[in-house]
Structure 1
Amino acid sequence: MHWDPISIEEFGVTQCGDLTSVQDGYWDVYYKLDQPHIEDEDYVTVYYVTRNKNTGAVDAYVKWTDQDTIKNDTVGFELEAAFDLIGIHCQIHDDPDPLPYYQGVEGWAQIWRRIPEPVIESIVLEGEDDVRITFENNSFTGPPDSTEVQRRTRPEGDWETVGVAGEDAEEYLDVDVDLAYGYDYRLRHLSPHMAMDYADVGLPPRPNSKWSNVDSLLVLSAPTSLSCDDNLEPEVKCEWTNGDNGVAIEVKRDGVIVETLDAGITEWIDTDVSWDDTLVYRVRHSGEGKFSAWSDPDTIAVEKTAPSNLYCYQSFAPGETEVHCFWDPGEGSDSTEVTRNVNNTRWWFPQDTLPPGQAYYIDENVQTGNTYYYKVRHRRGATVTAWSNIDSVTVN
């Protein structure tokens, strides 16, 4: 049995003095009266107060009316399995008969079994500026009256109460939170006022639970400006601008997180792609178990990017008979291959292989009266793109 003895002084009742309890041993419950001011002629009544786990009924039972035992020994007793112990109460009186408990509680000293504290399970950002706290309700005597929610600005601001969750609640929504800051949260159960089933006189309220564990909402701003492009491996390269406070970056492809990167990285190459894939990418920051919103998505079709807009013309510079060709290159090539057809026959012949980045070709091997047809393509290793458009020049 795990419960915290509560000092009698917390209730302002000291008549029986230091009523104490022990948590371990053979018995379920121990208590002892250790009072030098209890006189020989005094009588002491001790009750233990229980709650039936099945019916919820609260009741009090006299225990150990033998005065010598009560005054001088540590007393232990077993608790039946169907009951939870709520408290142990005592009172000094002159009458040799035990006091009936329902006469009232004034002058009684109590040790209450404290309500176990709640446990925060998760804190997540919901929408643009709301924070949802999910917690485990641990009141062993049924729902508490309510659960108090406190918040402070990270790292060491002052705690302030921001709201109260209802008695059956297992979550709380903190709305319109200023996300310029990170926050710590903590909770505690507020004690119900337990009343005797058979009397109009209620028991003194039990103390509130201890505060829960502290959990945090670390405000992480989302990455922005995500841009993804395909290369000729095939592969996709994504770049973005980082937000604030993240200690890691997660990359999501088609709804599945496929990579976690260190903070500060602003680009990533996805090599696990195939030609003709159409993929959707998003990135977000993470840190201390918290996450930013996802970036806006970027969609990319993985295609072999051919050169385009091929344009060829005859150069009329003095002393030259040449054809000059220019084009818009694709991306990521190792080389560009140029091929030529003369007079629109069925045969195309390779003319040259150009280095990366060169987007022009000069054909000096031409003759007046012929019509020359040109097309180009990129190569990277064994992978080639489609051919560009065809352009032709008749040499005069």
Structure 2
Amino acid sequence: MSKHLRILHLEDDPRDAELVEATLETEGYACNIRVVDNSDDFIAALAEDGFDLILADFALPGFDGMSALRLVRTLQPEIPFIFVSGRMGEETAIDSLKNGATDYVLKNRLSRLLPAVKRALLEASEREELRKAEEALRESEMHRLQLEVELRYAAEIQANLLPRRQPHIPGFEIAARCLPAKQVGGDFFDWQEVCPGVWGFTLGDVMGKGMAAAMLMATARAALRSVAHNRPQEAMRLAEQALLTDLENSESFVTLFHGQLHAAARRLTFVDCGHGYAFLRHADGAVETLSPHALPMGVPGPKIYGEGAAILEKGDILVLYSDGLIDANPELALDNPTLARHLEGATDAPEMVDRLIALPGVKGFLPDDLTVLVVYCTE
């Protein structure tokens, strides 16, 4: 198959130009050669671009090959440049290579022209592939940096969605922390005063982690906040009604514990939607598992949101956590009694949260989002 080449040839002898063309065509190259013999025409042709190769005599009247080489390396540095000259001393040839020439061929040894052209084109192709690879790498790096900036921004937004201050609830302390496995995650906690003296609080876990889970987390949080003034079981029914289409389309689900604390009566009412990671540690150290349980939001099946209740006495601690706490270090085989024992001697809710977060002893990478929420009855 013919190899088509567009060549700019600086040559003032038409016979030599024809001989070069014939040599290349004999070897299978179909050449489109533009022959010029002065600096003005050379510069004009060079400005047109699209040449695969430049061939140049070394000495022409009023113009020399080294000047042509300097122009090419300034204007079109990626084009291979080969001197084809009648005479060229060794020192001059070396100088030409140092100044950017790809090769040189003597006119009385045109048998070297084809190997020189092949090597020049191969090197040019390799340089182009390298340039493309470097450009792709730069674009990839820029994309990565942009993505990191966007993720940091998303992480800031997500962190700002979580409560920043402990609420003032007479007789109680509430504290929580959320550590996403990635920059953003699907775990969340929330609290708000839904009516005077009644506080709603939630710990949720969207299936998965990362950006997709974080988007669903924000949607679930907003849906729950809008209905939290209802009893827990009614709030869950309304929230799932609002979220069901999004959960079905994303093939995801949400487990969560949603409760209401009537502070004056010390009465807790709650619904557990497939979460299960909740217990009550009484002041005497006894551990009570909370029930009943319902299916997670987004999981098909009968949705009967059974509502549980408990009375909190002084020293009692309600602990909610996500599965990231036990997944962080499976070798510890953490369970509710083990977690409860690690709360002994803690004097306030933030300390309790810190103890549980630190319990797996994991530094750096987390396999899953990790969230803990504690409600402590102080009087």
TM-score normalized by the length of structure 1:
0.21
Q: Which is helix-richer, 1 or 2?
A: 2
Q: Which is strand-richer, 1 or 2?
A: 1
TM-score normalized by the length of structure 2:
0.22
